[in-house]
Amino acid sequence: MEDALDRLDREISECRRCPRLVAWREEVAVTKRAAFRDEEYWGRPVPGFGPHRAPIAILGLAPAAHGGNRTGRIFTGDRSGDVLFAALHRAGLANQPTSTSRDDGLTLTATRIFAAVRCAPPDNKPTPLERDTCAPFLHRELREIAPDLRVVIALGAFAWAAFWPAVRAVYGVAPARKVPFGHGVLWQAEGAPALLGCYHVSQQNTFTGRLTPGMLDEILARAKQLAGLS
């Protein structure tokens, strides 16, 4: 039976509110990357992934053009996802270390993943208007998982910035002053989930060593502790 989160996921996947993003995601789905020329691309907004009752949430920037926009599942089918799901598996939060397609058997434990912007943007850079247009989806998703949510991991400065309007809208809580993003920075307030900063799992960070597997493992261990899972 479809519940409120299922309905939200369906509504997200049908959204056409941002003309530039609609045009880009659909163009990519037609032109494709040579390595995936025989695949049928998803080419739509990408909903969240993971259990409906999750004490840990991972908030990313947006789907990758040839990752989530191709496979229809966030962080699936690209190098960033390879790094993230391997770490989740090491942390005992995923049943397998790889994420290649929507039907690959991957399941998550106590963790839900979603993005601040649900469509793949050109150059991986949404505009402020696109971010704000998509924000109600983030707010609604947070409301649905709020009873169980204890900690949000923000992957990068964009996700970190997207969290503040959401936590204000959903929980009625806001920091007294701006909290700068940083890897390992923790913000906590009564009546709201904790926010934990983590460098994004992009190739730019993982290939250069700015974010190492050990650093990511430490973030997930801290999140599990904050969520009462360890």
Q: What is the mean pLDDT of each run of 10 residues along the chain (230 residues)?
A: 89 98 98 96 98 97 98 97 98 97 97 98 95 97 97 98 96 93 97 98 96 98 96
Q: What is the pLDDT of residue 230?
A: 79
Distance CA 85, CA 106 (A): 9
What does the pLDDT read at residue 2? 66
Q: For residue 223, list its beta bridge partners.
A: none
> CA 129, CA 148: separation in Å to the nearest integer?
30
Instruction: Take residue 203 and report the two structure tokens written for it.
Output: 């190739």
**What pLDDT does residue 1 have?**
57
The CA distance from 21 to 115, in Å, is: 15
The alpha-helical segments, DSSP class H, found in 40-184 are: 68-71, 79-90, 128-145, 157-171
pLDDT given for residue 183 in this prediction: 98
The upper half-sphere exposure of residue 203, i.e. CA atoms within 13 Å in the direction of its Cβ, equals 5
Residue pair 39/32 in contact (Cβ under 8 Å)? The answer is yes
Contact indicator for 161, 181 with CB cutoff of 8 Å: yes
- HSE of 146, CA atoms in CB hemisphere, 13 A: 16
